[in-house]
Amino acid sequence: MSNRSSVRVPKKSSGCWNCQSIMQCFCSGEPMRVDEILKRSDSLDDVQLRPDTMNIEEAESSLRESGGLNYEEARALLGKYEYQKGNIEQAVQVFEGINVTSVTPKIKLTLARIRDRPKRRSQSDPAPPMSLHAVNLLFEAMLLKAKSLQSLGKFKEAAQSCKIILDIVESSLPAGLPDNFGIESKLQETLIRAVELLPELWKLADCPQDAILSYRKALLHRWNLDADTSARIQKEFAVYLLFSGAEASPPNLRSQKDSSFVPKTNIEEATLLLLLLLIKVTMRQIEWDPSIVEHLSFALSVANQPQALAWVIEALPPGIIERKDLYHTLALCYNAHGDNFAALNLLKKLLHHSEDPNHLSGLLMASKICSESPSLAEEGITYAQRALVYKEDRCNHTAGRMYSFLGMSFSEYDESAVSDSERVTRQTEAVLALESAGKLTKFSDSMSVYHLSLQYALQRKLNAAAYYSKKLLKLDGGTNIKGWLLLARILSGQKCYVDAETVIDAALDQIGKWDQGELLSTKAKIQTAQGNLKKAIETYMQILALLQVKKKSSGSRKSLDNHDRQLELQTWHDLACIYISLSQWNDAEICLSKAKAISPNSASRWHILGSYHEAKGLYKQALDAFNTALNIDPCYVPSLISLAMVLRRFSCKHNSVIRTYLMNALKLDRTNHVAWYNLGLLCKADSESSVSDAAECFEAAAFLEETAPVEPFR
């Protein structure tokens, strides 16, 4: 190493030095005095391109502090010169000549002594072996080498070259960089560039785990990053976790506490990063970036946490998000969470004349929410009609959705019709709107096709309903349970029980095990309608076994969600009904006790208990049970009908009361053939009623019974 020792530098020099002088320094293997370099530099005025002034100043600073220019520093300067000229391959060749292994100990010792210098404050302490300018010069050479290799498409080699810089600093300064570290020598700036570049190089090299690790190191190690740089790295890391497809292993944080949260999945880690960015926005540390909320919306949507997103948005300071965008985004969140009441209230604020009454997305969402509730259906019609004003400016698919929501709202609205003529008008409007939606979308929109099929089924036009339900299955590829169930119910209404059961079996082959409960329930009802009670009991037992496995797989919760609890309750109720029809009283009592454990105040359970007493001839107890059911749910149609039937058994003195119960039942369910039949019997026995009234009731009952499904279409 004696031939690479540095020499003293004059205190002041004039003129410029160039790459040819540096080249002689390391090609000859002999040290060169600085004044000689500068002298030769002055004599080479015919060089076309020279290093910029900043490079000269850096080099002179390094020379003055260390007393000379060694071999590696000379190569670093020449490589930088070639890189600036655009000679990428030549720059790489020059950078390859730097012996990183030999200079690494000196760099580490220099950084360590600079770190410890404030602690000692002694004049006798030895000076660092290198200046920070020299360290920066070598680091910059490694960085430029990485960028040169990146330009040549050698991404993995580029990443390895860039990684050397950060590894040296991390091992020398494990606690992170001191404040104001290397500002004069631009060392801090070089390190920040390396920190940002390394993850990008690993991504280009298709090394996802290395990219994730470099992102984590960039954020966890103290690099003295400014707020904007740190935020930029955080956002890029979050985006990579969300969309790269690479599965990250949980971070191993040395300083974490036992109770601290450690993300276990990509979604959790990305969500945490984006939430931290929002905190910085709230604290005014960084500028507002709308893409943060967009990515966070995606992350929380995938995690099925729309309410959490709503909480985050609500916590933002006023003015960051425009008010109408705030209402719309929060409405989407609450709608996804299932809180339609809150969502609709926000949409009403959005669609107020003082905000944005013509907000198309808001109008469509409001009409969709209203179309799912009979009490809001009239509002849904209004919102859909307001949206249709702009149908000419929209694509066929969007216009089709407008008509779909209009049809769905009319379909729900017909339930509140007072007269038959009003009901027929609304049903006609529903069909026309849904057919318009189908024509606009060429019947390619599964939602409009489903509701068109459903509307025809509700009107008992079962051939048309079956046609569109089969079209729906082709559209969805058999992946939608609702389509399978609707077709099976339509076929059961046509009394094609064998075909209906075949459809359910086909659906069971297509649908995942956990989602088969509702299909099995419909299958059991079809088997019951065929008189195959033993098979029906076996099918119900399959449902209970499935729910038991689900309950065990839920771990510590040991409970089912609301949908599964309702399915379990209905299964016990249906089994009790079968055992009552078979006069197996003990089995029926067991089923009712199981149902009571799930929901003691269920109107359905009290109704079946009344049916149990009625079947045993205990009419008083039956009346008590039916009345209890109606106290729980005054609109429970089966109990209204059963109560009327039991009263008819006692005497004919209660005809007005019986008629009231049956008429109330028909107001709630116009298609209930049992209610029509019993009303016909009442009219026939009542001297005040005409024979034609009884005949009309029996005619309606006969028609509805011929087309009655094993369970309601909707």
Question: pLDDT of 630-673, one tens digit each?
Answer: 999 999 999 999 999 998 887 666 788 888 999 999 988 888 99
Lowest mean pLDDT among 20-24, 45-49, 448-452, 574-578: 45-49
Do residues 574 and 540 touch, judged by C-beta distance below 8 A?
yes
What is the pLDDT, as a whole number, of residue 68? 55
Tokens 């209905």, residue located: 570
pLDDT (tens digit per residue) in 589-598: 999 999 999 9
- pLDDT tens readout for residues 428-455: 999 999 999 989 888 888 888 999 999 9
- 145: its two tokens: 């080498």
pLDDT over 70 (residue 28)? no
Residues 6+ apart with CB under 8 A from 57: none
Opening angle at CA 541, ends 538 and 543, nearest 5: 120
- Given this model, what pLDDT does residue 693 score? 84
Q: Give me the pLDDT at residue 259, please.
A: 58
Residues ≥6 apart with Cβ < 8 Å to 65: 131, 133, 134
At residue 42 the predicted structure's pLDDT band, cuts being 50, 70 and 90, is very low
What contacts 24+ positions apart, CB below 8 Å, involve 282-287?
282/315, 282/316, 282/317, 285/227, 285/231, 286/227, 286/228, 286/231
Per-residue pLDDT, 432: 92
Dig out the tokens for 367 from the structure.
């009409």
Q: Report the pLDDT value the prediction gives residue 262, as an integer from 0 to 100.
A: 80
The CATH H-level (homologous superfamily) assignment of domain 605-714 is Tetratricopeptide repeat domain (1.25.40.10)
Residue range 491-525, pLDDT digits in tens: 999 999 999 999 999 999 888 888 888 999 999 99
CATH topology of domain 1-119+126-223: 1.25.40
Nearest-angstrom CA–CA distance, 83 and 415: 78
> Please, which pLDDT band fits residue 116 given cuts at 50, 70 and 90?
low
d(CA 27, CA 29): 5
> How confident is residue 61, by pLDDT bands cut at 50, 70 and 90?
low
Residue 25 has pLDDT above 80, yes or no: no
Q: What's the confidence (pLDDT) of residue 319?
A: 79
pLDDT reported for residue 375:
87
Q: Show Cβ contacts of residue 355 under 8 Å, excluding neighbours closer than 6 positions.
A: 323, 324, 327, 349
Work out the average pLDDT over 400-427: 85
Residue 56 pLDDT exceeds 60: no
Q: Is the pLDDT of residue 46 over 60?
A: no
Q: Tell me how far CA of residue 447 lies from CA of 67, 281, 360, 457, 469, in angstroms.
A: 80, 40, 19, 15, 11
Separation CA 384–CA 80 (nearest Å): 66
- Exposed (0-12), middle (13-18) or buried (19+): which is 128, by Cβ within 10 Å? buried
Mean pLDDT of the chain: 83
316-352 pLDDT, tens digit each: 888 778 888 899 999 999 998 889 999 999 999 999 9
Minimum mean pLDDT range among 125-129, 363-367, 387-391: 125-129
pLDDT cut 90: percent of the chain above it: 43
pLDDT value at residue 444:
87
- Cα-Cα end-to-end distance for the chain: 89
The values of phi and psi at residue 569, to 5°, are: -60, -45
Q: Is the pLDDT of residue 234 over 90?
A: yes
Structure tokens at 624: 């008590």
Report the distance separating Cα 538 and Cα 522, nearest Å: 13
CB atoms closer than 10 angstroms to residue 66: 21
pLDDT of residue 563: 83
Residues 6+ positions from 166 with CB-CB distance below 8 Å: 191, 194, 195, 198, 214, 217
Q: What is the pLDDT of residues 612-622, one digit of tens each?
A: 999 998 999 99
**Residue 138 CB neighbour total at 10 angstroms:** 24
- What is residue 55's predicted lDDT score, i.e. its pLDDT? 52
Q: 3-class SS at 19? A: helix
Percent of the chain with pLDDT over 70: 85
Number of C-alpha atoms within 13 angstroms, CB side, residue 13? 23
Contact 335, 343 (CB under 8 A): yes
Long-range contacts of 649-654 (CB under 8 A, 24+ apart): 649/619, 650/619, 652/685, 652/686
HSE-up of residue 564 (Cα within 13 Å, Cβ side):
17
Does position 472 have pLDDT exceeding 50, yes or no? yes
Cβ atoms within 10 A of the Cβ of 96, count?
A: 12
Residue where the block lists tokens 């028609």: 703
Q: What SS3 class is residue 183?
A: coil
Res. 184 pLDDT band, cuts 50 70 90: low
pLDDT at 12 over 50: no
Q: What is the pLDDT of residue 69?
A: 62
Q: How many helices (H) and strands (E) does the chain have?
A: 34, 0
Three-state secondary structure call for residue 461: coil
User: CA-to-CA distance for 245 and 264, rounded, in angstroms?
Assistant: 15
Q: Encoding tokens for residue 126? A: 């030895």
Q: Please say if the pLDDT value at position 306 is more than 50.
A: yes
Q: DSSP 3-state assignment of 511? A: coil
Q: Is the per-residue pLDDT at 110 higher than 70?
A: yes
pLDDT of residue 484: 93
- Rounded to whole angstroms, the Cα distance separating 685 from 704 reads 22
Amino acid, single-letter form, for residue 120: R
Tens of pLDDT along 238-287? 999 999 888 877 777 655 555 567 888 889 899 999 999 988 988 889 98
Report the distance separating Cα 529 and Cα 492, nearest Å.
9
Helix (H) or strand (E) holding 427: helix 420-440
pLDDT of residue 309: 87
In the predicted structure, residue 418 carries a pLDDT above the cut 80: no
